[in-house]
Chain A
Amino acid sequence: MVNITIDGQQFQAAEGQNVLQAALDNGIEIPHLCYHENLSSYGGCRLCLVEITRGQRTTLTTSCTYPCLEGIVVRTDTPEVLKARRLVMELLLPLAPEAPQIQALAREMGISEQRFTEEEADNCIRCGLCTRACTEMVGAQAITFSGRGYRRAVESPFGEEAVDCIGCGTCVYICPTGCIEMLDRGTQRTLPKWKRTLELKKCTKCGWPYIPFAQIEFARQRGQEPPAADWFDLCPNCR
């Protein structure tokens, strides 16, 4: 454990743990969009900026990528930090102006007008939560970033059907702006963004088409503890 100071308060934190998590664990709120405690830190959205002093050096940096080291002093609310965060938020806002979570965060930061506009906003803020969840949580690696700079977007490989997508929907649940759609119609599940359509298996008891066959196959082959052979016959409600 190491001793760190956040906004004048002393805390103990595991060495190497990221500063953002240490702050959140101790009830100190730092806004963030691309961070998830079960995923690797990415440092892309730049909202969790804080000021960190280590020895003689003070830097403005993202708290989600900065490790807790003995004696560091973290300030989460200096005028510079707040100004930087607000500007970053202003840059993010036009990408997903209708998303409730983005609007709420912008309001909290005191942004009342939108200074920049985007003609063709696709509601994706390029936070990369979906790609990391798909790779690190699910293990399917079905989607990734493509393109550079402002052309960067999350896509299926080569913009064609994401053949490795198992239709589990993790990307849909984790997306902070709701820009990934998942539609279940009859026994078919479609994720239009990944150009993927999958057949669903029905629950043998209630008949609800509840899980893609591809996901069952994936769980059997790649799951750490392969479930019993008849586990997927029943939906969660009927088990």
Chain B
Amino acid sequence: MVGFLETVILKSVKERGGPVFRLNSVGELEKLRAEISEKRDTGKPCITTCLGTGCHAYASYDVYDALAEEIDARGLKEKIELRGTGCHGFCEQGPIVVIFPSEICYCRVQPEDAADILAALMEDKVVDRLLYEDPVSGQKYEREDEIPFYKNQNRLILGQNRLIDPQNIEDYFAQGGYKALAKALTDMTPEDVLAEVKKANLRGRGGGGFPAGVKWETTRQAPEKEKYVVVNADEGDPGAYMDRSLLEGNPHLVLEGLILGAYAIGAAEGFVYVRQEYPLAVDNLSRAVEQAQGYGLLGDNILGSGFNFRVRIKRGAGAFVSGESSALVSAIEGQVGEPRPKHINTAISGLWGKPTNLNNVETWANVPFIIERGADWFNGIGNEGNKGTKIFSLVGKVNNTGLVEVPMGIPLRKIIEDIGGGIPQGKKFKAVQTGGPSGGCIPEQHLDTPVDFDRLQELGSMMGSGGMIVMDENNCMVDVAKYFMNFLKDESCGKCTSCREGTKRMYEILEAITKGEGRAGDIELLEELAWVTEKTSLCALGQTAANPVLSTLRYFREEYEAHINEKRCPAKVCKALIRYTIDPEKCDGCGRCQRNCPEEAISGELKSPLVIDTDRCSRCGICLEVCRRDAVVVE
């Protein structure tokens, strides 16, 4: 019998796109897949526009609309398909347009380029000015996979993003979607699925790196019959957006992984805890859940197998700490997202005291591949103890910023230099911050370290969820530590004295140091506070909160000492410790700096060297930027 809720859902799915019917068996799913493939004439060109958040910010929706109008105007609606996809990852070059099947990739496309793109497509030509040009070599690339940024990656999890309209389940079916689920439900017992994930050595991608299979088994074997599975999509690290792009760009992949997990563990209900600040992810995921329910891939008797599983979406209110497992459990239960003591793991006693298996978005997204292609195949990617790929969000002082997916164990240098294209403007690399706010900074001498869970930890940093912020010679490491400590002091839930007061005090000391008010003994005091915060806090946030201080102290202690003892900021960042002056030898008195100075701190006769009044100067650096003769000096 179809209940009222199901009727409403079916109705809304119909309204949101295409006919919907329940798939009652694996055979029916495969039949549908064959029909979709047949319907899609593979010779027909398809123009895809990235509608992910990065490109959206560059107005990719306008580009999409312009392309649609142009196709309409030329009467090509039947001959060319237009598709909005998820994030391609090369956000630096957005909005990105890729044409299939030729895979010609256009970067930084504007709405007015639509006519040229269509004209070129009809004549089998390429719009040269929109091709990616390597900033170093100047070489141009036509195909997306030839671009060095993509060429050096292994885009296993993110790869489908560029092919799929995330709001259309048919696109996911066409890419082989729900094949793994079909396989599991027909050929595998729950024990088999669990054994396969264990054998694949899949480690949690949320940061901890705990073996997912072992965690699943704990929940499966817990005596309580009612069990839950949860997708942790409370991604909160500054600069990190891997999970966001996955949920926005390929929500069914995550859902399929979750359903497989529920099958293996024996859960009948699942939750996705996703940040409200990710509106597109919430929207696409909600549609995906509705569509999956409509097709009978969620709900009762999935694909006629007798397996029942439902998913509910819980939206988070924007607390970083809610990503911690016990805090997330509290938040889903409707309480304040605050960590609880967990002498008993959430895997055994989680939601409402029931066994609950939590995994990160990316971890779940790995599962369909493992089930479909097998653990042996998965074990062929990565290095010893760290199998599969990992997505990083590569940001900061690097030429190619964006989402990067690489096999685990490749050297940091390869990510930064080959994929990231090195440091802009020929500046010198200084450090890379990995692991988000609780991670640490890794200096040049360790750049050849393989990137995996264990090696990063040895260096005093961590994998975290995959944030990677590159810093050059113009970054002050005390300032960097201060930035992260500011974030952590605001995001500590405030329960434990050590974390609440410890982060606040460490921030105060760091702030004083950057203001030139550092005193002898400050470094030792920081170390003491770091120790107590790390040792005595309840959850991982507090236990790792000192990492930004400890790792910068470990590798850049002399910068702290310069600030404290010599009142000098070697990177020339800390405003209280620097002074702008004009070199009279170089200054020709053109007056550009004078006109642009917001503080009116620059004086002198035009056509003769100008002078900066240090007392009025706010150290904004505009004069330095506008000077054409490099006459402004920072000391």
Contacts and interface: CB of A to CB of B under 8 A. Distances in A.
Contacts of A158: none
Interface in B312-351: 319, 321, 336, 341, 343
A126 B497 contact: yes
Interface stretch (B1-9, B384-392, B432-440, B488-496): B488-496
B532 interface: yes
Interface in B479-506: 489-498, 500-505
Contacts of A126: 494-495, 497, 500
A149 interface: yes
A125 B495 CA distance: 10
A65 B343 contact: yes
B492 A88 contact: no
A44 B489 contact: no
B497 A149 contact: no
Interface in A11-70: 41-47, 49, 60, 62, 65-67
B525 interface: yes
Given A49-B536, A60-B536, A88-B498, A149 B341 contact: no
Contacts of B537: 46
A147 B343 CA distance: 27
Given A46-B496, A84-B535, 10 more contacts: A43-B496, A46-B497, A46-B536, A84-B536, A91-B501, A91-B502, A91-B532, A126-B494, A148-B490, A148-B492
B35 interface: no
B365 to A, nearest CB: 30
Given A46-B498, A150-B500, A84 B532 contact: yes
B511 to A, nearest CB: 13
A149 B489 contact: yes
Nearest to B537: A46
Contacts, number: 88
B59 to A, nearest CB: 35
A65 B341 contact: yes
A148 B505 contact: no
A44 B497 contact: yes
Interface string A133-149: 00000000000010111
Given A87-B532, A88-B532, A152 B497 contact: no
The 10 A-B pairs at the shortest CB distance, nearest first, are namely A152-B494, A91-B501, A65-B341, A87-B532, A149-B492, A150-B504, A149-B494, A44-B495, A46-B497, A46-B536
Interface in B448-499: 489-498
A115 B525 contact: yes
B121 interface: no
Contacts of B493: 148-149, 152
B533 to A, nearest CB: 9
A150 B343 contact: no
B334 to A, nearest CB: 14
Contacts of A145: 336, 494
A145 B335 CA distance: 12
Interface size class of B (residues with CB under 8 A): 20 to 34
B538 interface: yes
Contacts of A65: 341, 343
B145 interface: no
A43 B494 contact: no
Contacts of A148: 319, 321, 490-494
Interface of B: 319, 321, 336, 341, 343, 489-498, 500-505, 525, 528-529, 531-532, 535-538
Nearest to B488: A149
B490 A149 contact: yes
B343 A91 contact: no
Interface of A: 41-47, 49, 60, 62, 65-67, 80, 84, 87-88, 91-92, 95, 115-116, 125-126, 145, 147-152
Contacts of A84: 532, 535-536
Contacts of B496: 43-44, 46
Nearest to A153: B494
Which of A84, A87, A149 counts the most chain B CB atoms within 10 A? A149
B525 to A, nearest CB: 7
Nearest to A66: B343
A79 B491 CA distance: 31
Nearest to B505: A116
A115 B522 CA distance: 11
A43 B505 CA distance: 21
B341 A62 contact: yes
A87 B528 contact: yes
A141 B406 CA distance: 51
Contacts of B489: 149-150
B588 to A, nearest CB: 50
Nearest to A115: B525
A126 B497 CA distance: 8
Nearest to B319: A148
A149 B525 contact: no
Which of B490, B536, B538 counts the most chain A CB atoms within 10 A? B536
Contacts of B500: 126, 149-150, 152
B535 A91 contact: no
A32 to B, nearest CB: 12
Nearest to B532: A87
Nearest to B337: A148
20 contacts: A41-B341, A42-B495, A43-B341, A44-B495, A44-B497, A46-B537, A47-B497, A60-B535, A62-B538, A84-B536, A87-B528, A87-B532, A88-B536, A91-B497, A148-B319, A149-B489, A149-B491, A150-B489, A150-B500, A152-B500
B491 to A, nearest CB: 7
Contacts of B529: 87
A149 B494 CA distance: 4
Given A43-B341, A60-B536, A91 B498 contact: yes
A67 B343 contact: yes
A98 to B, nearest CB: 18
Which of B491, B495, B497 counts the most chain A CB atoms within 10 A? B497
A88 B321 CA distance: 21
A44 B494 CA distance: 9
Contacts of B505: 91, 116
Nearest to B495: A44
A146 to B, nearest CB: 9
A172 B80 CA distance: 74
Which of A45, A87, A152 counts the most chain B CB atoms within 10 A? A87
A91 B502 CA distance: 7
Contacts of B535: 60, 80, 84
Contacts of B528: 87
B546 to A, nearest CB: 12
A42 B535 CA distance: 18
